[in-house]
């Protein structure tokens, strides 16, 4: 997410400022840079972090090391609670190696995130509560072009420990092991004037019966940058308009989590600057919040978009989507009623 407020982002917010030095032994970077972006767009959530990085390329191999702190404000001390609010930052350590060839690339990433932002959660009211999370991430991806077909895939596995400190019983918490999996494969066959493609995705859900294990959100997600539909799991909609609520705290929002997802899409380019695409998508939950839940079905969505490239950096999109809402949003009551959802949107995008 941007470091700017929502009001600032209605105009312009500046997020990035860093120095880059290309030396004979590699490239060094330091400053405020993007983090949470890697490989394919699946699983990406662009955030701003203060980082120091090093990259070295040798023939077809690229090696990268990074370390930094999430740009979420200085949390180590506060004026109201200077004694107990210590070490409350989120630190990250990343390493990956990528191999490229003419028609593709493969990569393996390892990342460690030490998140202490939730320590002393209740401060002076209930001292010595809250927890610290150690996340270890392993994420391989591959991109391959085979004639007119482009295939890409990414897998992410997160493991580690959420450890409560001091008096967890006062806050109703307990230690938990982390084990979460996500996977995505996408293929597009491009024939110039027309193309067809599809995606399959999986995001593990959290089993509510095992409080000592964390298997889903917020540990892992499909990422805020990946918007597979205009309504379902769309972060732009959730950010600017809000999530669409159902019963028992259910809501269609973003990013995607706790889901099996499938999509088929097809498009035409009648002229070079115009791209018209139609898609149909279906999703169902991996886990339900309670055993008495009516259904796991999120529903299916039909989208139609037309994007016109005004200039190489400026494009205009007009689209419409219809979301046939599944019974998952009825929650625990079979008699509850849920409505289908629809959206008409136009969007002007400038990249520079």
Per-residue pLDDT, averaged over 278-287, amounts to 97
Q: Residue 253's closest CA among 241, 263, 269?
A: 241
Question: What is the residue-averaged pLDDT of the chain?
Answer: 89
Confidence category of residue 74, pLDDT binned at 50, 70, 90: low
Could you give the CA distance from residue 257 to residue 238 in angstroms, rounded to a whole number? 14
Q: How many other CB atoms are there within 10 angstroms of residue 223's CB atom?
A: 26
Least confident of 57-61, 168-172, 314-318: 168-172
Q: Specify the pLDDT at position 11.
A: 81
Q: Is 301 in contact with 232 (CB distance < 8 Å)?
A: yes
Q: Specify the pLDDT at position 71.
A: 60
Per-residue pLDDT, averaged over 252-256, amounts to 91
Least confident of 13-22, 60-69, 325-334: 13-22
% of the chain residues with pLDDT over 90: 70
- Its pTM stands at 0.88
Q: Residue 324's closest CA among 240, 250, 231?
A: 231
**Which pLDDT tens digit goes with each residue over 242-251?**
999 999 999 9
Per-residue pLDDT, averaged over 174-196, amounts to 95
**If 0-12 CB within 10 Å is exposed, 13-18 middle and 19+ buried, where does residue 128 land?**
middle
- First and final CA of the chain: distance in angstroms? 18
Radius of gyration of the chain (CA): 22
Confidence category of residue 92, pLDDT binned at 50, 70, 90: very high
Residue 82 scores a pLDDT above 60: no
Per-residue pLDDT, averaged over 206-220, amounts to 86
Domain map (residue ranges) of the chain: 1-181+214-223, 227-352
Q: Specify the pLDDT at position 72.
A: 58
234 against 83, higher pLDDT? 234
Could you give the CA distance from residue 279 to residue 196 in angstroms, rounded to a whole number? 10
Helices (H), the chain: 6-9, 168-171, 235-240
Could you give the CA distance from residue 68 to residue 210 in angstroms, rounded to a whole number? 33
Confidence category of residue 351, pLDDT binned at 50, 70, 90: confident
Q: Specify the pLDDT at position 1.
A: 67
Q: Specify the pLDDT at position 187.
A: 98
């Amino acid at each position: 997410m941007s470091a700017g407020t929502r009001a600032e982002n209605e105009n312009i917010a500046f997020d990035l400022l860093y120095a880059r030095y290309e030396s004979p032994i590699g490239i060094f970077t330091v400053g405020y840079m993007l983090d949470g972006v890697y490989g394919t767009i699946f699983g990406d959530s662009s955030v701003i972090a203060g980082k120091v990085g090093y990259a070295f390329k040798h023939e077809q191999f690229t090696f990268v090391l990074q370390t930094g702190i999430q740009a979420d404000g200085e949390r180590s001390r506060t004026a109201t609670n200077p004694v107990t609010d210590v070490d409350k930052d989120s630190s990250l350590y990343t390493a990956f190696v990528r191999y490229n060839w003419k028609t593709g690339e493969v990569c393996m990433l390892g990342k460690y995130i030490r998140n202490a932002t939730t320590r002393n959660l209740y401060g002076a009211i209930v001292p010595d509560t809250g927890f610290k999370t150690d996340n270890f991430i392993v994420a391989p991806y591959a991109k391959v072009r085979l004639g007119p077909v482009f295939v890409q895939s990414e897998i992410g596995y997160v493991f580690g420990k959420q450890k409560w400190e001091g008096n967890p019983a006062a806050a109703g918490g307990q230690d938990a092991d982390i084990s979460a999996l996500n996977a995505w494969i996408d293929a597009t066959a491009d024939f110039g004037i027309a193309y067809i493609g599809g995606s399959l995705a999986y995001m593990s859900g959290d089993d509510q019966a095992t409080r000592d294990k964390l298997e889903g959100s917020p540990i892992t997600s499909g990422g805020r940058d990946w918007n597979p539909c205009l309504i379902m799991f769309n972060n732009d909609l959730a950010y600017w308009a809000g999530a669409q609520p159902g019963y028992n705290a259910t809501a269609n929002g973003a990013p995607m989590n706790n889901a099996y997802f499938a999509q088929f899409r097809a498009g035409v380019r009648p002229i070079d600057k115009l791209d018209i695409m139609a898609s149909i998508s279906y999703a169902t939950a991996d886990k339900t919040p309670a055993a008495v839940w009516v259904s796991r079905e999120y529903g299916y969505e039909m989208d139609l978009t037309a994007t016109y490239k005004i200039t190489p950096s400026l494009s205009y999109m007009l689209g419409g989507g219809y979301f046939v809402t599944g019974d998952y949003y009825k929650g625990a009551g079979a008699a509850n009623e849920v409505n289908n959802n629809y959206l008409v949107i136009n969007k002007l995008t400038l990249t520079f």
